[in-house]
Amino acid sequence: MTKTTATGTAILTLSFNLIFTVLASAQGAPVGTATNAIGELVIVRTDGVQQRLQGKGNVPLYEGDVLKTDGSSQAMIEFVDGVTVALNENTNFKLLSRWEKDMPVVRILRLKQGEVWAKTNGGPKRFEVETPVATAAVKETEFNLKVQDDGQSILTVIEGVVSFGTPFGTCPIRTDTISYGVRGKKCTKPAATDAKTAKSWTDALRTTGK
């Protein structure tokens, strides 16, 4: 092997190891924490191991975790990026992230069923909630999103603007308005609503979390 070839091979090997180390580190770092549960929050890790939270706690959450509440449970989690999320009863979602070059990480909730309330803290964030029929993308806002049994998704914006999209189009939904995402159709035009009532189900959860 020539000196030039050997040097190139060494650089390639070093670069590969560096990339692998960065990826391994990113995959192993917590993306958030489960801080409170009324009833029981079940966390299913990517290897199938389950961890449970009852009451106040500090359970780390990782990429790929699935979080579940049953018919008598609610829970609260905090992302490391400054996004707070509450889970209502019978809620099930997966934690995901998306990396883009020279951009902050996008935190994603893949909401299979149930209802979540979310609020960004400390400035604009890159955060999305995916449902079976629609996606809600935010930067700085507070909103409530509910998925019904047929997949219909109901978005209520409490403060700020949410980009609410289906495969047929995207609608900007603003403070004190509601929109519906239905399979096979564009989201409905925003309609006025008393948005603060949409988060009333979080009252007990936030009180016990203090």
User: Is residue 129 within 8 Å of residue 111, measured between CB atoms?
Assistant: yes
Query: pLDDT by residue (tens digit) across 103-160?
Result: 888 999 999 999 999 999 888 889 999 999 999 998 889 999 999 988 899 999 999 9
Phi-psi region of 73 (alpha: psi -120 to 50; beta: other; left: phi over 0): beta
C-alpha span between 38 and 153 (Å, rounded): 24
Q: What are phi and psi of 167, to 5 degrees?
A: -60, -10
Q: Which two tokens stand for residue 202?
A: 């979080």
Query: pLDDT by residue (tens digit) across 55-106?
Result: 999 999 999 999 999 999 999 999 998 999 999 999 999 999 998 888 888 9
Read off the pTM: 0.83
**CA atoms within a 13 Å half-sphere pointing along the CA-CB vector of 130:** 13
C-alpha span between 89 and 21 (Å, rounded): 39
Please give the helix or strand (H or E) that residue 203 lies within, else none: helix 203-208
Q: Which two tokens stand for residue 203?
A: 């009252």
